Amino acid sequence: MEIYLPVAEMSVHWMVIIGLGVTVGFVSGMFGIGGGFLLTPLLVFYGIPSTVAVGTTLSHVTAASVSGALAQWRRRAIDFAMAGVMLVGGLMGTAFGVWLFAIMRRQGQMDLIVSVTYVLLLGSVGTIMLRESLSSLRAARSGETPRVRTVNRVWMAGLPFKMRFRQSRLYISVLPPMGIGFTIGMLGAIMGIGGGFIMIPAMIYLLRMPTNVVVGTSMTQIMTITAITTLLQATNNYAVDIVLGGLLIIGGVIGAQLGVRVAGKLRGEQLRLLLAIVVLTVCAGLLWGLVARPADVYSLSMGMP
């Protein structure tokens, strides 16, 4: 049965949308991420206008991270101080991102910048995860305990505004977490992603937070940021389609449960290897779109550019 989306102003098949939700939910449940980086390109590929895809994906990520954050909260696995500090940076980043979004749209370079950012981001995160998971797998097979690589933290020790993060057992400057929050807030506004797949590695490798609080903390931060960004997208760009969002969330909830079950049967490094492959596949697809000769070098957009 076809369903008419009131804001996107187009008809879609509800099975396709629920299916997309299940797929993305599966990935997000499996890896503990929001899955926005998959959903936005998939929606655009299906023909949803890119502004609506970005805005509506944010509402989907909000729901996914509310669900995840509540589960983590019951386990007391959230560092609220850290989430708060990152949120301050995140709000500034979001405001900056929304401003940048408007400028790029006026220049007609929106799609290019979004694609290039995606390729760089997914390419680098994917490669790091691939190398890390492969070396862990190799180490596990040869029976050694995997050596955790430490990032040089000397530069961080010299920064001012130190603060104690009890839950993470850290005493560090607030600037690096704010910087991470800023970057991810900005990317979220532009790309319609929560940023979990960047934030989790950044928290582990840069801030050296204990792994057990990383997922809960990042979800709390993402939940707040995406809720605010959804609101901004709805008021500034009329870009949130409530019917599309609802269908995606329902599919996503089902997919996430399946994903969590499957994830329980796999080891951490195997999961990271799979995620690396998913990320690199999306990256390769976007890269191909940038360098391949388009079928028609002319493109047409109706209404306001």
Residues near another protein (CB under 8 A) are: 1-4, 6-7, 9-11, 59-60, 62-68, 70-71, 74-75, 108-109, 111-112, 116, 227, 230-235, 238, 240, 242-243, 245-246, 249-250, 253, 256-257, 290-294, 296-305
Q: Which is nearer to another protein, 12 or 203 (CB)?
A: 12
> Considering the complex, what minimum distance in angstroms separates the CB of residue 51 from another protein?
13
Distances (CA, A) of 118 to 204, 211, 266, 280: 21, 26, 28, 11
Separation between Cα atoms, residue 113 and residue 109, nearest integer Å: 6
Separation between Cα atoms, residue 168 and residue 212, nearest integer Å: 9
Q: Which is nearer to another protein, 202 or 287 (CB)?
A: 287
Q: Which is nearer to another protein, 100 or 250 (CB)?
A: 250
What DSSP string runs through 131-191? HHHHHHHHHHHTTPPPPPPPPP-HHHHT-SSEEEETTTTEEEESHHHHHHHHHHHHHHHHH
> Considering the complex, what minimum distance in angstroms separates the CB of residue 174 from another protein?
27
> Considering the complex, what minimum distance in angstroms separates the CB of residue 7 from another protein?
5
Q: What are phi and psi of 302, to 5 degrees?
A: -95, 160
3-state secondary structure of 123: helix
> Considering the complex, what minimum distance in angstroms separates the CB of residue 230 from another protein?
5
Q: Which is nearer to another protein, 43 or 249 (CB)?
A: 249
Q: Which is nearer to another protein, 174 or 248 (CB)?
A: 248
> Considering the complex, what minimum distance in angstroms separates the CB of residue 71 from another protein?
6
- Asked if 16 and 46 touch (Cβ cutoff 8 Å), the reply is yes
Separation between Cα atoms, residue 121 and residue 149, nearest integer Å: 21
Q: Which is nearer to another protein, 154 or 304 (CB)?
A: 304
Q: Which is nearer to another protein, 176 or 185 (CB)?
A: 185
- Residue identified by tokens 């599919």 is 251
Q: What are phi and psi of 15, to 5 degrees?
A: -65, -40
> Considering the complex, what minimum distance in angstroms separates the CB of residue 186 from another protein?
20
3-state secondary structure of 11: strand
Closest by CA to 240, choosing from 5, 69, 76, 2, is: 5
- Asked if 248 and 21 touch (Cβ cutoff 8 Å), the reply is yes
> Considering the complex, what minimum distance in angstroms separates the CB of residue 107 from another protein?
9
Per-residue buried b or exposed e for 257-274, using 16+ beta carbons within 10 Å of the residue's own CB: eebbeebeeeeebebbbb
> Considering the complex, what minimum distance in angstroms separates the CB of residue 97 from another protein?
17
Q: Which is nearer to another protein, 59 or 183 (CB)?
A: 59
